[in-house]
Amino acid sequence: MKFISWNVNGFRACLQKGFGDFFNAADADIFCMQETKMQPDQADFSPEGYHKYFHSAIKKGYSGTAVYTKKEPLDVKFGLNGTHTDEGRVITCEYEDFYFVCCYVPNAQNELKRIDYRMEFEDDMRAYLSELDKKKPVVYCGDLNVAHEEIDLKNPKSNAGNAGFSDQERGKFTELLTAGFADTFRRLYPDVTGAYSWWSYRFNARKNNAGWRIDYFVVSERLMDKVKDSKILKDIEGSDHCPVELDIEF
């Protein structure tokens, strides 16, 4: 199976930048998005052969997630057990052999203004994923808004303590991994440098590859032997993020 995750930074805008061509060429079994910035009826994109699910924020033009899937899920849930629903950040699709969780993790913001909420969200998400994992293995993906280690961003020294690279956020990601989950890309490519999925629109960051790896496929540890590849599709444009891909054989 092929899974694609992409923070599109505005789905309606991305649709004008070749999204449809990439979607069709990718031919993913599950294609999910973050930061759709729209309500479900605001984007006309209904490719044949896919079921679609949108989770939009109450606030217009903000946050939001979406999942397109060839196989209809057994069940679809939004948020975390009825919590964290206002910003449209989490969609869970249940299948026979696994759970698929698409997530747009809250940004801690400048000066870590939202770090308390971010920590609450991280703890609730880890507990949620651990509960799911007791029933069947989990594929957790999306813009997780953290560069875990220094290898995961171009300028770790100057960004130390900033949103996305604070000790608090990095520590929560470590807690998730030690709870029985694996960062698929880093597990397969432990020493690869310069592998980023987000670049600022400023300072020619993408051209200079001054980026961050903050988009992930994380899986239950017992799924790692089924993972065939985990890719960062850095050449796909249309957003300040690029898509990431997971190839897995159930």
Cα 33 from Cα 31, distance rounded (Å): 7
Cα 219 from Cα 214, distance rounded (Å): 15
* Spatial contact of 217 and 139, defined as CB atoms under 8 Å apart: yes
Contacts of 60 (CB under 8 A, 6+ apart): 39
Determine if residue 131 is labeled as part of a ligand binding site: no
Determine if residue 149 is labeled as part of a ligand binding site: no
Q: Which of 53, 99, 104, 216 is catalytic?
A: 104
* Spatial contact of 4 and 26, defined as CB atoms under 8 Å apart: yes
**One-letter identity of residue 218:** V
> For this structure, is 97 an active site residue?
no
Determine if residue 241 is labeled as part of a ligand binding site: yes
Q: Quick one: 233 exposed, middle or buried, by C-beta within 10 A (0-12, 13-18, 19+)?
A: middle
Cα 190 from Cα 170, distance rounded (Å): 17
Q: Which of 55, 84, 148, 241 is catalytic?
A: 241
Determine if residue 209 is labeled as part of a ligand binding site: no
Determine if residue 24 is labeled as part of a ligand binding site: no
> For this structure, is 241 an active site residue?
yes
> For this structure, is 104 an active site residue?
yes
Instruction: Count CA atoms within 13 Å of residue 21 on its CB side.
Output: 7
Q: How far apart are the first and last CA of the chain?
A: 8
Taking CA atoms, 208 is separated from 196, 199, 200, 201, 232, in Å, by: 11, 9, 11, 11, 17
Q: Which of 143, 152, 183, 215 is catalytic?
A: 143
Determine if residue 41 is labeled as part of a ligand binding site: no
- Token look-up 């991305």 returns 14
Active site residues: 104, 143, 241
Annotated binding site for Mg(2+): 7, 35, 143, 145, 240-241
Annotated binding site: 7, 35, 143, 145, 240-241
